[in-house]
Structure 1
Amino acid sequence: MMEKLYGLSHLLMTVFLHSFSTHMVVPAITDVTMAALCPGQDECSLAIYLTGFQQAMTGLGTLVMMPLLGNLSDKYGRKAILSIPMTITIIPIGILAYSRTRKFFYVYYVFKILISMVCEGSVPCLALAYVADNIPESGRGTAFGILSGIASAAFVCGTLSTRFLSTTLTFQVSAVVAVIGAVYMQIFLRDTVIDHDNHNHNHLYTPIISQGKPTTSKVEGKLKSKMHLFKALQSLKDLTSFLNSSLTITQAAIVAFFSSLADVGLHGSLAYFLKAQFHFDKNQFADLMVISGIAGTVSQLLLMPILAPILGEAKLLSIGLFFHCVHMFLYSITWSSLVPYVAAMFSILFVFSQPCIRSIVSKQVGPHEQGRAQGCISGICSVAHIVSPLVFSPLTALFLSERAPFVFPGFSIMCIGFASMVSFVQSMMLRVVPAILS
């Protein structure tokens, strides 16, 4: 038991360093994009469309890659597959750390799309599978909340650092922390994977690089390994079969899709809306994210461990999604530059949703399918990354421009709130069946 807790502490540090690095650059990226594409302007349709295209391409790639990476982590171990995103995500950050001119921005943009198509969201996905390997069903809701709380704490620390750093230093520090995170994981994180025959944890039964002398059994093992890899590549088919495996999983997938649809839409629209309406810059964006992050961290580390055993994940999910809707509607009718700060505080209530969805799904599958389950749910969320920019990016660009059919700059955000409302209604109909015994 102590070994598992020791391993989880290293996982939490790995997630913290990765989240710290990636979230540091978020408040600054809007200003960098606008400065590279539309210098001196507060409204730029090109920036909105390029951001939407990036989100759509990322969703298209991760739709295939998330179930595949989840399957491969079930086979080869969480750490081995986790090494991929932890390493290659350093590249785009390093490009902007070197220069943020228009030429280098386009180089960053291409690398960001290609790398995000492979590994966007894979670190939290594989981290959830790692936790599920080591925590029994009864404690997973709390454990997933703590993992999300650590990510939120990294979010706070990263965005708070951005508030006091120049843009150049922000990207340089982010790149250094990303390197430290990858090295830390390689040195300290212990792999965990399940033996399908004996159902034992922490037993790497199929290493990626085989050791020992060549034998006939080794050749047969390689053939079997290739067959398993071929099966893993059938990720879309695997995604479909997973969704049809039970009514609870199907309902949870619908909730995850519409919740992600709203999240992606808000992420792609809110910064440009606030910049056009109230001339927000890197520092104001960082302030908003710090408020949201602190509220989310307190909620996930203190409130969720108390409320999850009492209310259950299904009720807590509905509560989180309800306040998710409220906070988006409040953003859409923002009449003062102070209103976004109030809306950001709703994070204390709506951050419950993602850990609850993941915990509900985790309890519906066996111990040797955790990577597959989390990967498939991430794949469903990736579909939202494709659909959301196609719908909301043009809507945002239209209503922030002079060509808007009527004066309502936050109209696209209100539509995003309706997508969140669909996920809330579906969560009210979610029926959680008893968990599968490990």
Structure 2
Amino acid sequence: MTSDTDHVPVRRAAVVFVFVTVMIDMLAFGIIIPVFPHLVQHMTGGDISTAVRWTGIMGALFGLMQFVFSPVQGALSDRYGRRPVILASNLALGLDFILMALAQALPVLFIGRVISGIASASISTANAYIADVTPKEKRAAAYGLLGAAFGIGFIIGPALGGFLGGVSVRAPFWVAAGLALTNFLYGLFVLPESLPKERRSARFDIGHANPLGALRMLRRYPQVFALAIVFFLVALAQFSLNSTFVLYADYRYHWGPQEVGYTLALVGVCSAIVQAGLVRRAVPRFGERPVMLAGLLFGICGFLTLGFATNSVVFLLAIPLLALAGLGGPTTQSIITRQVDPTEQGRLQGAISSLSSLATIFGPFVFSQTFAFFIGTSAPVHLPGAAFV
């Protein structure tokens, strides 16, 4: 019999690959963040309030696709393996960025957001991949590394997107397409399968591979369901930033794509430090639950600081607090994965992603409308940071 230690190099190589895959995906998404709202603004006649509303609607559409397809992809990966699902998603993202780069009308951008929402649902499969190849006691650190991949992607992506956006509003989409397609080719030749055939589901059950079936699955595990609610609330709060920051910074501080890109890069640096360095040191010392709760408290302080920031200096001081909020994600994810059988990890991650995607549906719409209302003439008080509060 092969000892568990014989698989350590394979596990490390697999985790490194998923790290690189997520980092490149986030780099591709990060590149378009500083310019996407401005492209929408260009297509809607230049009015900032109209652009905010349409950006929020498209963000909700993106979330709806993730809500529907996260459990589908999770169940498919349980049945057929993680590798084909991840590769298909990477290919779809690359082609979708090309579509958005060529878009000349708002309906084409809508189609692009539909495709990207479907393709990016594969993050649930990446999380299941980590659970497949990582021992239980090391999963918090592994998910912290995955969180660092998000951070690094957002260090380089928005800064590069801001620079490219100064050249052309469409240039970041072309670079994002190149990155996603490169990632597909990298995975095609390098990515090993993490789920052996003997550990796969016997069949693909559409009754479970849908949002309602996935949420019913969560109810079978009370602790998992409770922590999934935490995921939902954190994701909902996060979308106050995702859906308003670019236009908020333009409105309040007169920041253009470059300033936005550099600020998001700073967010990425702080997040990477927390996710890659602090999580693996804090969890062994304090335990997963206290670290998770500390992350939530840091998040509260960070968003309140953003909401009441009267100038850009105070706004920037909130970034380290929001980075420390990242202590909660890897620890919560680690606790959850220990509650279910390996044959259900894909469905579990799909269910969690689907629930979190509800925030992606409602968050962009609610927070963009909140921002638009509180900078409008009918607002009872002028509070541009109301969404963060």
Task: Work out whether the TM-score is over 0.5.
Answer: yes
- Determine the structure 1 residue equivalent to 2:295: 320
Pick the aligned partner of 1:72 from 73, 76, 79: 76
Q: Is the 8 A contact 2:63 2:117 kept in 1?
A: yes
**Residues 1:230 and 2:234 aligned together:** no
3-state SS, counterpart of residue 345 of structure 1: helix
> How many Å apart are 1:195 and its aligned residue?
4.1
What is the root-mean-square deviation in Å for CA atoms of aligned residues? 2.1
- Offset of residue 162 of structure 1: 2.6
* 3-state SS of paired residue (1:404): coil
- 1:178 aligned to which of 177, 180, 190: 180
**Letter matched to residue 14 of structure 2:** G
Q: Work out which of the residue numbers 222, 246, 265 in structure 1 matches 2:240.
A: 265
Q: How does 1:21-60 map to 2 (within 5 A)?
A: 21-39=28-46, 44-60=48-64
Contact 1:74 1:194 (8 Å CA) reproduced: no
Asked whether the equivalents of residues 194 and 367 of structure 1 are also in contact (C-alpha less than 8 Å), the reply is no
Matched residues in 1 for 2:321 and 2:251: separation?
23
Counting aligned pairs with the same residue, the percent is 24
Pick aligned residue for 1:256 from 231, 235, 245: 231
Number of matched pairs: 379
TM-score, reference length from structure 2: 0.91
Unpaired segments ≥5 residues, structure 2:
1-6
Correspondence for 1:354: 329
Query: So what's the TM-score if we normalise by structure 1?
Result: 0.81
Deviations 1:120-147 (A, max 9, x none): 3x23321111111011111100111011
The one-letter code matched in structure 2 to 1:240 is L
Separation in structure 1 between the aligned mates of residue 116 and residue 54 of structure 2, nearest angstrom: 14
One-letter identity of the residue aligned with 1:230: I
Alignment of 1:106-125 (within 5 A): 106-120=106-120, 122-125=121-124
| Deviation for aligned residue 1:412 | 2.6
Contact 1:17 1:181 in 2 (8 A): yes
Q: Is the 8 A contact 2:66 2:117 kept in 1?
A: yes
Task: Give SS of 2:312's match.
Answer: coil
Q: State which of 210, 232, 243 in structure 1 corresponds to 2:218.
A: 243
Structure 1: any 5+ residue segments left out of the alignment?
Answer: 200-204, 207-223, 415-438
Which stretches of structure 1, 4 residues or more, deviate above 3 A after TM superposition?
95-99, 229-233
The one-letter code sitting in structure 2 at the alignment partner of 1:32 is L
Specify the alignment match of 2:129 in structure 1. Answer: 130
1:158 equivalent in alignment to 2:133 = no
- 1:146 match: 145
CA-to-aligned-CA distance 1:340-384 (integer Å, 9 cap, x gap): 222223243111222222212111111111111111110110111
1: CA distance between counterparts of 2:116 and 2:99?
A: 15
Say if 1:389 and 1:16 are closer, same or farther in 2 by CA, change over 3 A. closer
* Alpha-carbon distance in structure 1 between the residues aligned to 2:263 and 2:89: 27
Q: Cα 1:25–1:370, aligned 2, differ >3 Å: closer, same or farther?
A: same
Radius of gyration: which is bigger?
1
Tell me, yes or no, if structure 1 residue 310 matches structure 2 residue 289: no
The offset of 1:53, in angstroms, is 1.3
